[in-house]
Amino acid sequence: MHIYKVGGAVRDRLLGRPVSDVDWLVVGATVEDMHAQGFRPVGADFPVFIHPKTGEEYALARTERKSGRGYGGFTFHASPEVTLEEDLIRRDLTINAMAEDAQGNLLDPYNGKADLENRILRHVSPAFAEDPLRVLRVARFAARYAPLGFNVADDTLALMRQLSVSGELQALTAERAWKEIERALMESQPQVFIEVLRDCGALHELMPELDGSSQALAPLRQAAEHDQSLPVRWACLMLAIHDTTQINAVNQRFKAPRDCQELAGLVGDCLPLADRARELEPSALLALLQKFDVYRRPQRFEEFIAACQMAAFARGARSYAQADYLRGAASKARGVDVKPLVARGLTGQALGEALKAERLHVLAQHKATASCV
């Protein structure tokens, strides 16, 4: 039995980047050998095991054949006869298809190291076309390594284009696609993910509603530069869609998490109001705060402000005075105490109206103060 370190750990060590998780490959072993060594299988019919002490993943060398449409359409063949080269050839990119033995020697049958040095994302073999998820993976790696100067090889982009026009991307489940989208959005240059998808025709298949021009992607770019959260980045991306109904359609297509869906919808609807915040009458400002439920959901309003600010930066603004104004308004409205009103004997509708009047009063003061400075 031979054990190799494979995949991202080998790649990132060569790049001098931190290695987060290590994947291991076992050549020349049977399922029984693994059980005998104390490894636990991750699933009934998948040749991957968990190390009893480190908890890391050890996969038996395998070959793969496409047997149908979509992700389910794969048959695996794991056996002690499968060689290292046969296992590595089924992988997506040459830079992901390198292995390292126990002595630290690099095994690199598909020239991943040269591609790494030349900053090229290149598919390993024509079998690349068998899994449409790889289109998203390549775009994600392009977003991650863009700061290092990586580009997608022309013939790989051509394969991605073929996969896109063939309609195969439609076979991806929402869950698999979202996992890639989410990870790509958290990379340092997430706009590159969208640009690569655009350039190979995948964007047209996955999110035809979205304007993939660099101008439309500028808010997302700002969001990444300012280390914003996933919901803010998603909302900023959705600003490249100009219609709220279409934003909702995209949200649902990928089953985006609730916080992402909500924020994208709210930003799509309310950004123009935020931009005019200082001109809004107290009643309009209060309506905005109520819509966000700033009393119970202060964090969501913060994220809304952040997204509006990123959009302003994307238009070339140096600062966004509305941010502090909106924050101040929310905190004033939240600060209105209901207890004195209750103490005055108010209940039900009368209490609601008194509370609203009090909040309008503090917002009017807030507006007056802000216009003095």
* 99 vs 218, beta carbon nearer ligand ATP: 99
Environment class of 103 (CB within 10 Å of its CB; exposed 0-12, middle 13-18, buried 19+): exposed
Residue type, 253: R
233 is in an annotated binding site: no
91 is in an annotated binding site: yes
Strand ranges for 124-191 from DSSP E: 151-152
SS3 content of the chain, % helix, strand, coil (to 5): 55, 10, 30
221 binds, among ligand ATP, Mg ion, none (CB under 5 to 8 A by kind): none
Closest to 187 measured CA to CA, from 234, 138, 145, 240 = 145
119 is in an annotated binding site: no
Dihedrals phi, psi of 37, to nearest 5 degrees: -90, 5
Among all residues, whose Cβ is closest to Mg ion?
8
* 21 vs 117, beta carbon nearer Mg ion: 21
d(CA 102, CA 357): 73
* 8 vs 231, beta carbon nearer ligand ATP: 8
Q: Which residues pair with 76 in a beta bridge?
A: 64
State the residues that interact with ligand ATP by CB under 6 A.
Answer: 7-8, 23, 91-92, 96-97, 131, 133-134, 137
Instruction: Please give the DSSP secondary-structure letter assigned to residue 74.
Output: E
Closest to 332 measured CA to CA, from 371, 291, 279, 370 = 370
92 binds, among Mg ion, ligand ATP, none (CB under 5 to 8 A by kind): ligand ATP
- Binding flag, residue 268, Mg ion (CB under 5 A): no
21 is in an annotated binding site: yes
Minimum separation from the CB atom of position 148 to ligand ATP (A): 14
164 binds, among ligand ATP, Mg ion, none (CB under 5 to 8 A by kind): none
Minimum separation from the CB atom of position 96 to Mg ion (A): 9
Which member of 8, 47, 231, 282 binds Mg ion (CB under 5 A)? 8
Helix, strand or coil, per DSSP, at residue 37: coil
d(CA 193, CA 199): 10
* 91 vs 367, beta carbon nearer Mg ion: 91
d(CA 56, CA 50): 6
Q: Which of residues 43-102 bind Mg ion (CB under 5 A)?
A: none
* 7 vs 268, beta carbon nearer Mg ion: 7
Closest to 268 measured CA to CA, from 299, 303, 235, 298 = 235
- 19 contact partners, CB below 8 Å, separation of at least 6: 8, 9, 12, 13
112 binds, among Mg ion, ligand ATP, none (CB under 5 to 8 A by kind): none
140 is in an annotated binding site: yes
Structure tokens at 226: 């300012």
Q: Which stretch binds Mg ion (CB under 5 A): 18-26, 172-180, 198-206, 334-342?
A: 18-26
297 is in an annotated binding site: no
262 binds, among Mg ion, ligand ATP, none (CB under 5 to 8 A by kind): none
Among all residues, whose Cβ is closest to ligand ATP?
8
d(CA 66, CA 120): 26
* 97 vs 238, beta carbon nearer Mg ion: 97
5 binds, among Mg ion, ligand ATP, none (CB under 5 to 8 A by kind): none
Helix, strand or coil, per DSSP, at residue 165: helix
Minimum separation from the CB atom of position 278 to Mg ion (A): 48
Environment class of 164 (CB within 10 Å of its CB; exposed 0-12, middle 13-18, buried 19+): buried
Annotated binding site: 8, 11, 21, 23, 91, 137, 140
Annotated binding site for ATP: 8, 11, 91, 137, 140
Annotated binding site for Mg(2+): 21, 23
Q: Can you give the binding site for Mg ion, defined by CB under 5 A? A: 8, 21
